[in-house]
Amino acid sequence: YISFLRSFFDQPGETNQMYTIFRHDLIENIPEWVVVGSGAAIGNNIYTYEVSTLIDSTADNDGMTEFKVVASMNEGHFHSPPQSGYSLDNIEPGVPGGLMATGMDDGIHLSWDTSPEEDFQYFRLEKSFESEFNEFETFDMIDTSYIDPDYVLNQTNYYRLAAVDHAGNMSEYSGVVEATILSIDGDPIPDVYALHQNYPNPFNPVTTLRYDLPEDAMVTITIYDIMGRRIRTLVNIDQTAGYRSIHWNATNDFGQTVSAGMYIYTIQAGEFRKTRKMVLLK
């Protein structure tokens, strides 16, 4: 809303006087003042008009839009100084539907419906080992399916889903779904060391790196760019034997998002060393 005080010449009994609201636009890259509202001058002390901004304010753009008022009085035309303002999109998107979870040999398969929202940006999938979600992991993605290879055998894995729009508004959560993969022969231990190809690949913005430890070892997993510069150290601890995985969300050691391109990831576990490549899309 734009509010302003009446012109000095806006007096009772005067006729054929009006106010016009202009918005500063770029039309074919040329700055222009465009009429977005108008109304008769009827002697009110304060006038208020509802007008539209160019875009809503978001985390990436403040959305500041410039306006001015022109009073067309019998004595002449009078321009107010330009003033700036912004609008907010604070309407949350609808709750995602159709969330399903199924335990398979290669992990827990999750799927859900596409979002009908025009300003949809991504889904937020959350996973917990407790139905109250006091502690949980978060995975952001635009896809409508996900394979979770980082499950715990004989333990119930809980999932819930939300949608996020371009203004950063997040929907309420979907209903919670659960899945359990049971062990037949107890907790399995791999026979050899291995570093598997990340999944998905190419990816945006999160991928999973799986690796196998046949024995307890000091494990270091590091990501480098194609020039060999270290980007992120994902793991640097002693770990017990087993099948393991770690997620990378395309950020460096300082939490900054990295650019699209090819990256190299390596594992050093005891005497075992392996290198693979992956591709980040934007």
CATH code, domain carrying 7 = 2.60.40
Specify whether 253 is located in the same domain as 234: yes
Q: Indicate the residue among 88, 117, 150 that finishes a domain.
A: 88
CATH code of the domain containing 176: 2.60.40.10
- pLDDT, averaged across the chain: 89
Phi-psi region of 129 (alpha: psi -120 to 50; beta: other; left: phi over 0): alpha
pTM of the model: 0.47
Residue 51 · residue 4 · CB < 8 Å: no
CA-CA distance, 197 to 279, in Å (whole number)?
Answer: 11
Asked whether residue 2 carries a pLDDT value surpassing 90, the answer given is: yes
Q: What is the mean pLDDT of residues 82-95?
A: 86
Q: Integer distance in angstroms from the first to the last C-alpha of the chain?
A: 37
Specify whether 257 is located in the same domain as 276: yes
CA-CA distance, 34 to 195, in Å (whole number)?
Answer: 60
Q: pLDDT-based confidence at 187, cuts 50/70/90?
A: low
CATH code of the domain containing 282: 2.60.40.2550
Q: Indicate the residue among 142, 167, 188 that finishes a domain.
A: 188
Specify whether 155 is located in the same domain as 140: yes
Specify whether 181 is located in the same domain as 197: no
Specify whether 197 is located in the same domain as 174: no
pLDDT tens digit string along 209-226?
889 899 999 999 999 999
Of residues 147 and 151, more confidently modeled:
147
pLDDT score at 13: 83
Residue 146 · residue 208 · CB < 8 Å: no
Count of domains forming the chain: 3
Q: Give backbone dihedrals phi and psi of 267, rounded to 5 degrees, phi first.
A: -125, 135
Specify whether 84 is located in the same domain as 97: no
Specify whether 105 is located in the same domain as 181: yes
Look up the domain containing 43 and give its range: 2-88
Alpha carbon of 7 to those of 21, 86, 169: distances in Å? 14, 25, 40
Asked whether residue 127 carries a pLDDT value surpassing 70, the answer given is: yes
Contacts of 171 (CB under 8 A, 6+ apart): 92, 93, 94, 95, 96, 162, 163, 164
pLDDT score at 182: 67
Asked whether residue 247 carries a pLDDT value surpassing 70, the answer given is: yes
Specify whether 76 is located in the same domain as 62: yes
pLDDT score at 22: 97
pLDDT score at 82: 95
Specify whether 159 is located in the same domain as 217: no
List residues bridging with 203 in a β-sheet.
Answer: 280
pLDDT score at 122: 95
Could you give the percent of the chain with pLDDT greater than 70? Answer: 96
CA-CA distance, 251 to 253, in Å (whole number)?
Answer: 7
Residue 221 · residue 266 · CB < 8 Å: yes
Asked whether residue 84 carries a pLDDT value surpassing 90, the answer given is: yes
Q: Indicate the residue among 88, 106, 125 that finishes a domain.
A: 88
Asked whether residue 87 carries a pLDDT value surpassing 60, the answer given is: yes
DSSP symbol at 185: S
Q: Out of 30-39, 57-66, 127-136, 200-209, pick the least confident.
A: 57-66
Asked whether residue 153 carries a pLDDT value surpassing 80, the answer given is: no
Specify whether 179 is located in the same domain as 96: yes
Full DSSP string of 207-274: EEEEEEESS-EEEEEEEEETTS-EEEEEEEEEE-SEEEEEEE-SB-TTSPBPPSEEEEEEEEETTEEE
Structure tokens of 134? Answer: 């006091």
